[in-house]
Amino acid sequence: MAVGDGRLPQFRSIPGVKIGVVEAGIKHQNRKDLVLFELKAGGTLAGVFTKNAFCAAPVQIAKQHLSTSDSNKPRYLLINTGNANAGTGPRGFDDALACCQKVAAQQGLESSQVLPFSTGVIGETLLSERITASVPQLVKTLEGHAWPDAAAGIMTTDTRPKGASRSVNYDGHEIVISGISKGAGMIMPNMATMLCFVATNAKVAQPLLQSLLSELADKSFNRITVDGDTSTNDACMLMASGECEAPEIDSDHPDFLKFKASLQAVMIELAQAIVKDGEGATKFVTVAVEEASSVEEALETAYTIAHSPLIKTALFASDPNWGRILAALGRAPLADLDLSAVRIYLNDVLIVEQGARAESYTEAQGQSVMDQDEITITLRLARGVVSEQLWTCDLSHDYVTINAEYRT
């Protein structure tokens, strides 16, 4: 029950980046569940990770390996689904490291040049031997056009693969950007709340690449929420192969903002795809807060609305119960809120003003909006000039069913 058609784009391959995908039988037979990205020597890599204090073993190792010396920079990203390898203690750390060592040995590199990523059930021992046994075949499958298979290979409770791809002109040369993401539940910002892998053929120095990723993740993956739960395994990686003939990306270049906007568009598309495929989702909802006094105030207000079970269930029922929105706003952390100045909209329909139902509002107008698959809730606070938005979904019977039966 996802929103929209969810069709994958026509992926643009990224020169200098290869992808391998195999069936390792980690949890289920006859499904793609092991993915390997290979980044050309000399490329750069950046990452942002979950801030969950109980972060998984592969997250800990990936962060360590990402900070290695210039002589042994990471070149491989190994991703398994079917098992999160989280809450597994020292054994989990050893298992993740063994998988890195196998890829490194196969390719004649140091284990620190391989970053591991895992997604699936928390607290179960990783069957690392199935992964290591599959590495030789995985390496043989490396090629430049396997983005669709990789998108399928990192799925867990996702109902469909997720991807984005586009190009941009930079100094007269075509720069291409492609990416995939996975996520459907345990989605709440505190970095990125999912797995995401984006690559470009641009040449970008690592500090600038990291700066771009951190900033744009905050505007994309840190603006989505399905259920308010932050995962133990979240990671978002950005690879730059440097294979484009364009000059190195420079923040002072006239085309820099075009490149940045294209990268942001890819990341927003991937982030929104996660919400549209939220577990049991039937509605894709934008919560926009305008006329706030600060970014923090705007986001805290937006999350209060997005996380309200009463609002989310009303959305599922297509019920224009605007009183729930008003009540949630009233408990948002807003000091000295002037209720008479607040205006609330469903799409472009004004539903609340002067502390009560707008005189122009009719139930039929509200129902017409709530019957749609994509809805915008806008709150104008009349407290300043700051605007922020985030994306969420409804809460359905299927969300409860999926998570109640997750381990069966």
Predicted confidence (pLDDT) per residue in 323-364, tens digit: 999 999 999 999 999 999 999 999 999 999 999 999 999 999
pLDDT of residue 52: 77
> In which band, very low, low, confident or very high, does the pLDDT at 191 lie, cut at 50, 70 and 90?
very low
> In which band, very low, low, confident or very high, does the pLDDT at 405 lie, cut at 50, 70 and 90?
low
Overall average pLDDT of the 111-119 stretch: 95
193: annotated active-site residue: yes
Which of 48-57, 207-216, 311-320, 372-381 is least confident?
48-57
Q: How far is CA 113 from CA 49, 102, 105, 228, 317, in A?
A: 18, 11, 11, 34, 49
pLDDT of residue 193: 44
Query: Looking at the chain, which residues constitute the CATH 3.10.20.340 domain(s)?
Result: 284-404
CATH code for 17-274?
3.60.70.12
pLDDT of residue 5: 86
- Residue-wise pLDDT for 271-318, tens only, equals 999 989 877 789 999 999 999 999 999 999 999 999 999 999 999 999
- Gap between the Cα atoms of 52 and 230, Å rounded: 7
Residue 185 confidence (pLDDT) above 90: no
CATH code for 284-404?
3.10.20.340
Residue 247 confidence (pLDDT) above 50: yes
**Higher confidence at residue 188 or residue 351?**
351
185 contacts 157 by C-beta, under 8 angstroms = yes
pLDDT of residue 194: 77
| Percentage above 70 pLDDT, the chain | 94
> In which band, very low, low, confident or very high, does the pLDDT at 28 lie, cut at 50, 70 and 90?
confident
Query: Looking at the chain, which residues constitute the CATH 3.60.70.12 domain(s)?
Result: 17-274
**Higher confidence at residue 194 or residue 403?**
194
143 contacts 15 by C-beta, under 8 angstroms = no
* Residue among 132, 156, 157, 193 flagged as catalytic: 193
Please enumerate in sequence order all residues whose Cβ is within 8 A of that of 313, keeping only pairs 6 or more positions apart, or say none: 394, 395
pLDDT of residue 4: 86
Give start and end residues of each alpha helix (H) in 172-294. 206-218, 256-276
326, 336, 314: which is closest to 379 by C-alpha? Answer: 326
- The mean predicted confidence, pLDDT, of the chain is 92
| Percentage above 90 pLDDT, the chain | 79
Predicted model pTM: 0.92
Q: How far is CA 185 from CA 322, 400, 404, in A?
A: 26, 11, 12
pLDDT of residue 294: 96
Residue 192 confidence (pLDDT) above 50: no
